[in-house]
Amino acid sequence: MWQQSQLTKASIILRWLGINRYCYLFHKINPVYLKPKQKIELVTAIYKFFLSLFLVLVVAIAYSQSVVEGIIVKDANEEAVPFATISVQNKAVGTITNIEGKFKLDIHTLQDTDTIQISHLSYNSLRITLASLKSNQGKIRLYENTLMLREVTVNAAQNDIDLLEDIITQSKKKLILPLTYNIYYREWVKENASYNRFADGLLTIAYPLNKEDLKVQVNQSRAFKLPKDDDEIFDMVSPVKLEYVLNYVYIDFLNRFRGEKGKDYNVTSYQGPSFDDFYTITIAPKKGVVSDDSRLLHNVKLKVDQDRAIREVEIKSDSLSSFEKSFLGLKSRLLESKTTLSFKRSQGQNHLAYARFEFKLRFTFKKKVQISVYTSEFVLLDAANQETEIPHKDQFKKSALFKNGNKYTTNFWEGLEMPLLSEDERKVIELLATKSNDKTLK
């Protein structure tokens, strides 16, 4: 039977933990007035509290040893640097910064001596050890890169075209097929400034020699959609097919700037300051060349290392481009498209570590106008130098991940290797999850 002294000890411990509102009760409780069952319940409650507290502390310590969180900022004014790539030299481990410049990196398999590589198209690349990242409390400063024209020669234009050709050739040589990627993939749809669709999932991609034979398996996924609003003109999952984003691995996206097609573009190269930023290549439409309904012109920027392997890519639709289609009174016009790619070197391979594709369209029907933004993202989690066999019954054949619906067995989005959501993204997903109805997934 529990004595008053034992209850007093519990009171002292709770006071030490700052839970003073319980202390008065323990001091004043007289075991004479407590029934045996009440005493057992009271002490059980105390032990449950301590057990819960202990487990919380254990989880917090384990998390701090498995993950490092931080932020990447611009050195000049400490503005956030979104969509920077953080990778580990010679390992598949890596992540990206969110729109707030924040990131979390899974380090449970890493050593303090491992080299962390930070890369962004507009900034000088940086290499630091994991120990240095920890000592900086996860805050990293990047310096804007300053482009310097290479020495001008009589055949400068042709030299730059030849350099681009060699970069494409060398980059393809540094990707040895077949191989398998495990990735995190997500899709966003925004209609008139409000998100109404979201999907994400864990995918396995088997990359054969021929990209037409690419195979996709969705291991887990979730999807949310708001009911269609009366003001919406056009409700579409995404005009961007899943395979379109996945195929960036093959580096064929630069073919549109080569050979006969390349005659509409100027290619210019700039000398960089380091091995990782050895060249910057810009590709822009020639003066007087305009797009029409049969083609779309682009502006391209590449960052290339000294081995002439592509590190960073940005492809944007030309601001002067006009691309419009009409069908049964519904007009669609491309306002902007932007592709961001980041590659990383690992075990001699040049892997696609991150891809982001954003497509902005304007729909008009009679007097109604709708602006739609479609975003697809790809984050590499792991890579294997062999093609995984994906049975035909498990192959995902649909154009968008959203169409796979909610099929998950764990909260995969909470995994240590998952990219960190921004506060706004988190709120959007929570709102969609609350208001979404599985019956609306189409």
Residue 58 pLDDT: 45
The H-assigned helical ranges of 110-181 are: 130-135, 156-173
Q: Kindly report, residue by residue over 16-54, the tens digit of the pLDDT.
A: 444 444 444 444 455 555 566 666 666 676 666 666 655
Number of domains in the chain: 3
DSSP state of 97: -
Say whether both 58 and 82 belong to one domain.
no
Residue 394 pLDDT: 95
Highest mean pLDDT out of 97-101, 271-275, 348-352: 97-101
Q: What is the distance between the alpha carbons of residues 309 and 350, in angstroms, rounded to a whole number?
A: 7
Say whether both 281 and 346 belong to one domain.
yes
- Binned at pLDDT 50, 70 and 90, residue 347 comes out as confident
Say whether both 369 and 235 belong to one domain.
yes
Last residue of a domain, one of 99, 125, 142: 142
CB atoms within 10 A of CB 71: 19
Residue 190 pLDDT > 80, yes or no?
A: yes
Region 192-206 average pLDDT: 92
Q: Report phi then psi at 419, rounded to 5.
A: -65, 150
Say whether both 18 and 77 belong to one domain.
no
Sheet strands (E) in 192-322 = 194-207, 215-225, 265-271, 279-285, 298-304, 310-317
**Whole-number average pLDDT of the chain:** 82
Say whether both 350 and 259 belong to one domain.
yes
Which residues, including other chains, have CB under 8 Å from residue 352's CB and lie 6 or more apart? Answer: 181, 248, 249, 341, 342, 343, 378, 380
Residue 81 pLDDT: 95
Q: Kindly report, residue by residue over 47-90, the tens digit of the pLDDT.
A: 666 666 555 554 444 444 578 889 999 998 999 999 999 988 88
Note down the domain range covering 115.
67-142
Determine contact, residues 282/311, Cβ cutoff 8 Å: no
Say whether both 177 and 314 belong to one domain.
yes
Say whether both 106 and 94 belong to one domain.
yes
Last residue of a domain, one of 142, 165, 199: 142
The H-assigned helical ranges of 72-224 are: 130-135, 156-173
Q: What is the distance between the alpha carbons of residues 258 and 164, in angstroms, rounded to a whole number?
A: 9
Q: Kindly report, residue by residue over 356-402, the tens digit of the pLDDT.
A: 999 898 888 888 888 999 999 999 999 998 999 999 999 999 999 99
Last residue of a domain, one of 48, 65, 82: 65
Coil/strand/helix, residue 391? coil
> Domain of 74: which CATH number?
2.60.40.1120
pTM: 0.81
Residue 184 pLDDT: 96
- Binned at pLDDT 50, 70 and 90, residue 442 comes out as very low
Say whether both 215 and 282 belong to one domain.
yes
Q: What is the distance between the alpha carbons of residues 170 and 162, in angstroms, rounded to a whole number?
A: 12
Say whether both 218 and 353 belong to one domain.
yes
**CA nearest 345: which of 321, 309, 302, 320?**
309
> Pairing between strand 139-142 and 67-74?
parallel
Say whether both 175 and 311 belong to one domain.
yes
Tell me the two tokens of residue 359: 């497509």
Lowest mean pLDDT among 98-102, 307-311, 352-356, 368-372: 368-372
Say whether both 115 and 262 belong to one domain.
no
Say whether both 204 and 291 belong to one domain.
yes
Residue 333 pLDDT: 85
Exposure pattern of 19-40 as b/e (b: 16+ CB <10 Å)?
eeebbeebeebebeebeeeebe
Q: What is the distance between the alpha carbons of residues 100 and 403, in angstroms, rounded to a whole number?
A: 29
Region 334-353 average pLDDT: 90
Q: Kindly report, residue by residue over 151-164, the tens digit of the pLDDT.
A: 544 455 788 889 99
**CA torsion angle 270 255 121 99 (round to 10):** 160
